[in-house]
Chains A and B, each alone.
Chain A
Amino acid sequence: MPYRHPTMTPPARSPELPDAHPAPRRKRLALSPVVVFLAPALVIYFGFIVYPVLRTFYNSVHVIQPRNVVQFVGLANFTALLETDPVFWKAVGNTAVFAVIGTIADVVGGLLLALCLYVKVPLARVWRVVWFTPVLMSYVVVGIIWVWIYDYDWGVVNLVLRWLGLGALEHSWLGDPQTALWAVLVTHLWKWLGFNMIICLAALYALPTEVLGAAELDNCGWIAKLVYVIVPMLRPTLVNLLVLSFIGKMMIFDLVWIMTGGGPLWSTETVSTYVYKRAFDWNTFDLGYPSAVAVLWSVIILVFVLLMTRLLSQRDKLEF
């Protein structure tokens, strides 16, 4: 069997895992390799993640009264949340739209950009560097620059529209509830497409050239080649990117906070910004309600991620 140097695209065989208690040639404590490898991670994890999570769960079924008296309210926070909180539902809607459309655009866009470079355009190395640069920037930098770009009077977008004679399409992009969410999404994509591009590019380079060559011979158009050959081969990579991108967009906070703060008229309110507002901006120290929101949202994201991975990772066995 030829040894192949894998990248994020895995080879075709589903691996068999060795038993943690191997038929030993050496005598040692039964669990020691596992313990050694896992211990540091678990120590940090239990110390710094599990406790806060449990604390958050605890908070979500309480209300923190003035003077720190904590009152158990059972599921009252959750019912209030689900039944009488219009802002929460608006935030959920916004975040869902942002995440679904954003994720698809993110991964498809990254793949297309990678393909552009893959087909050997001149100066590919230069484009590769430039396109990756936004990924490195902090949200503060990106947010400030794009607020300037979207400015009604002197921002580039409106200026270009006027210059092209499309002055009628001018908008206050971040000030109009109809366009604000999409404007933020465009900025977010601008920042992250470069990352997806690099990962897809790496995956493309790892593809065996024989298959692509064979497709050429069969006279496939490039779209057919893309859909029927390349995408299936890149499936695990794309699934990874979809999951990471989805999680990132479901939890989006920094960019929205800097660009619009959740306005106008809650059109860019996301679940994270709402949680932050309830925990830090409202004149209260009650953490019970925002904890309930966070718990609910985390569960939803987790469910979706599990569903996604299960649905998309099947049929992994390609022979080539």
Chain B
Amino acid sequence: MLKAVVNRCSLVGALMVALVAVAPLLAHAGEVLTVWSHEADEPAKVAFRELAARNLEKQHPGLQVKITWYEKGGLYTALKTALPAGQGPDVFYLEPDQTEYITNGYIIPLDTLVDWSKIYDWARKVWTIDGKTWGLPQEAYTDELYYNKDLLKKLGVALPPNAQFTQAQFLDLVKKARAANITPIAQGVGDRPYPGAYVLAEALLRKLGTDDYGKLLHGQLSYDDPRVVAVFTWVKQLVDAGAYPKNFMTLKLGESHYYFYQKPGALMLPMGSWYTGRAFVPVDKGGQPQDFPLGIMQFPAMDQGACPECKTLAVGASFAINAASKQKQLAAEYLNMMSTPDMGKRWIETVYLQSAVKTDVGAFSGPYASYFQELMARQQGAKYFIGMPIDILKGQCKDTFTQVMNSAFPGGLLPVDKAVSMMNQACYKK
């Protein structure tokens, strides 16, 4: 029996030794501000946020700003576990569709903590709920239709002066491209819940106009509406004409970029304007070739559409302050550090993406200046709808959107009436 007791003691003893050895790691050394962020795979954004961290450290000697980089899935899981337990970082990345942090009281209003004079009003509005602003918008983007200028010329089609085709012209273009053995639209839904719905959702926006489109997304308009069905029918025609690649269902977002500008090459790529984050990097890291004839066209106008000049504008990456943070003031300083006009300019110049920070866009220079000019040209006269479908849809409706409008319908697996009825069942609140 003694042996048994001795053995047990040694076991417990070993455990205690391990605990003691690890304990020092538990204590914090000095002041630390913790940040959890996504987008570890975009070096420009990493550099941007780390720069803001170093700047803050310079202002506060003895402070250490620690950014932990996650993949999106890992970040959400970690947050969903940490926050209910009163833990988590001081500052974390989030996107506008994540209102659950607000409704559950895990983040604090930023009205008095952030210098809002430096942020665009429309961007602030995205995060304003019940009169309070809850998140700091950082990234802004629009949905654009990128295309290969040379391939378009090769097909003998000229872009209209307002850069927008009609429904019929677009369908015709798709058929011509297929006949010439060029994939019309490079798109893939292998690892994201939204890209397949770009053409469909943008068409719905232009057909319905901002008000009715908003109603549709909020479940107040039935998908049986003849205008909605008409749009679905047109998209089905595109799908049947072979608009999408054969491996549409499994092609990943990053791979679709490569498909478009490298191999095998496609005519068009509908994408958020954060396209640049993947395209404007060196070729051997997966970027587009230096001399790639990139063009931007508008999404096609719908017959009897209410708003051909409508575009989708959305806020992407944002940051919020943990309600349980013990250093809210310091956290707010980090947010402000990322939102100075200088940083806004740096964002545009290194990430090649619109920013929520007020910046003088005209002064932009650099190797991709002509791209930016074309991008700004496409924004002339645009009427914006704020928010992507997945930012607005929730719950079962969002899941069905991902499976139907994003994936199965453009993938050619569902007829129009089935798709419409599935969306109606999940989303329309009678």
> Which residues of A are interface residues toward B (Cβ below 8 A)?
28, 32, 36, 39-40, 66-68, 87, 147, 150-153, 172, 174-177, 261, 263-266, 277, 279-285
Cβ of B100 within 8 Å of any chain A Cβ, yes or no, is yes
Q: Are A150 and B250 in contact (CB under 8 A)?
A: yes
Is B146 an interface residue when CB atoms closer than 8 A count as contact?
no
B263 to chain A, nearest CB (A): 10
Question: Which of B76, B77, B104, B408 is A264 in contact with, Cβ under 8 Å?
Answer: B408
- Residues of chain B with a CB closer than 8 A to A68's CB: 84, 104-105
Which A residues lie within 8 Å of B8 (CB)?
36, 39-40
Is B411 an interface residue when CB atoms closer than 8 A count as contact? yes
For B255, the closest partner residue in chain A by CB is A151
Q: Is the interface of A mostly helix, strand, loop or mixed?
A: loop
Once the chains are docked, how many angstroms separate the CA of A295 from the CA of B98?
A: 27
The reply to whether A67 and B103 contact each other, CB–CB distance below 8 Å, is yes
Kindly provide the distance from the CB of A286 to the nearest chain B CB, expressed in whole angstroms.
Answer: 9
A264 lies within 8 A of B99 (CB) = no
Q: Which residues of B contact A175 (CB under 8 A)?
A: 190, 247-250, 411
What are 10 A-to-B residue pairs whose CB atoms are below 8 Å?
Answer: A67-B104, A151-B247, A151-B250, A152-B247, A175-B249, A176-B249, A263-B249, A263-B402, A264-B249, A279-B80
A36, B398: Cα distance in complex, Å: 53
Residue in chain B with minimal CB distance to A176:
B249
In the A-B complex, list the 8 residue pairs whose CB atoms are closest, starting with the nearest: A175-B249, A152-B247, A66-B103, A175-B250, A283-B100, A265-B408, A285-B104, A174-B250
In the bound complex, residues from chain B placing their C-beta under 8 Å from that of A147 are 250
B399 on the interface (CB 8 Å rule)?
Answer: yes
B363 partner residues in chain A, CB cutoff 8 A:
none
Query: Known contacts A36-B4, A67-B103, A175-B411: does B246 contact A283 (CB below 8 Å)?
Result: no
A277: chain B residues at CB < 8 Å are 399
User: Which of B1, B191, B394, B403 lies in contact with A28, CB distance below 8 A?
Assistant: B1
Residue-by-residue, is B395-426 near A (CB-CB < 8 Å gives 1, otherwise 0)? 11011001110011001010000000000000
Question: How long is the Cα–Cα vector from A282 to B76 in the complex, in angstroms?
Answer: 10
Distance, CA A69 to CA B13, complexed state (A): 42
Q: What total of chain B residues lie within 8 Å of the partner, measured CB to CB?
A: 36
Nearest Cβ on chain A to B243's Cβ, whole angstroms: 16
B11 interface residue (CB < 8 Å to A): yes
Complex interface: chain A residues within 8 A of B411 (CB): 175, 264
Q: Which residues of B contact A28 (CB under 8 A)?
A: 1
Contacts of B248 in A (CB 8 A): 172, 175
Q: Is the pair B103, A282 in contact by a Cβ cutoff of 8 Å?
A: no
Known: A28-B1, A66-B103. A263 touches B403 (CB 8 A): yes
In the assembly, what is the distance between CA of A307 and CA of B76, in Å?
Answer: 38
Contact A283 B403 (CB under 8 A): no
Task: Determine the chain B residues whose CB is within 8 A of the CB of A263 once the complex forms.
Answer: 189, 249, 402-403, 407
User: Known: A87-B399, A266-B403, A283-B99. Contact between A172 and B246, CB under 8 A?
Assistant: yes
CB pair B76 A281 closer than 8 Å = yes
B403 near A265 with CB under 8 A, answer yes
Are B100 and A32 closer than 8 Å at their CB atoms? no
Instruction: Tell me if A152 and B250 are in contact (CB < 8 A).
Output: yes
Is B97 among interface residues, defined by CB-CB distance under 8 A? Answer: yes
Q: How far is the CA of A11 from the CA of B424 in the complex (A)?
A: 63
Q: Among A152, A265, A280, A285, which residue has its beta carbon within 8 angstroms of that of B407?
A: A265
Chain B 79-94 interface residues, beta-carbon cutoff 8 Å to A? 80, 84
Chain A residues in 8 Å Cβ range of B191: 261
Closest to B4 in A: A36
A283 touches B413 (CB 8 A): no
Residues of chain A within 8 A of B395, CB atoms compared: 282-284
Indicate with 1 or 0, residue by residue over B231-258, a CB within 8 angstroms of chain A CB atoms. 0000000000000001111100000000
B142 CB to closest chain A CB (Å) equals: 23
CA–CA, A282 to B393, complex, Å?
10
- Report how far A185 CA is from B405 CA in the complex, Å: 27
Question: Which residues of the partner chain B approach A174 to less than 8 Å between Cβ atoms?
Answer: 249-250
Residues of A within 8 A of B246 (CB): 152-153, 172
Q: Which residues of chain B from 3 to 35 have any CB-CB distance to chain A below 8 Å in the complex? A: 4-5, 8, 11
Smallest Cβ-Cβ distance to B105: which chain A residue? A67
B403 nearest in chain A by CB position: A265
Say yes or no: A177 contacts B413, CB within 8 Å.
Answer: yes
Q: Which of A152, A264, A282 contacts B403 (CB 8 A)?
A: A264
Since A153-B246, A264-B249, A283-B100 are in contact, a sample of 16 more A-B pairs with Cβ atoms closer than 8 Å, ordered by chain A residue number, is A36-B4, A36-B5, A39-B8, A67-B105, A68-B105, A87-B399, A152-B250, A172-B248, A175-B249, A177-B413, A264-B403, A265-B407, A266-B403, A279-B80, A282-B399, A284-B395
Distance of A134 from chain B, by nearest CB (Å) = 22
Residue of A nearest to B247 (CB): A152
A104 to B250, CA, bound (A): 29
A112–B384 CA distance with the chains assembled, in angstroms: 63
Contact A66 B250 (CB under 8 A): no
Taken together as a complex, chains A and B put the C-alpha atoms of A277 and B84 apart, in Å, by 17
CA distance A280 to B105 in the complex (A): 17
Quote the shortest CB–CB distance from A146 to chain B (angstroms). Answer: 11
- A264–B413 touching, CB < 8 Å: yes
CA distance A218 to B394 in the complex (A): 69
A66 CA to B84 CA, complexed, in Å: 11
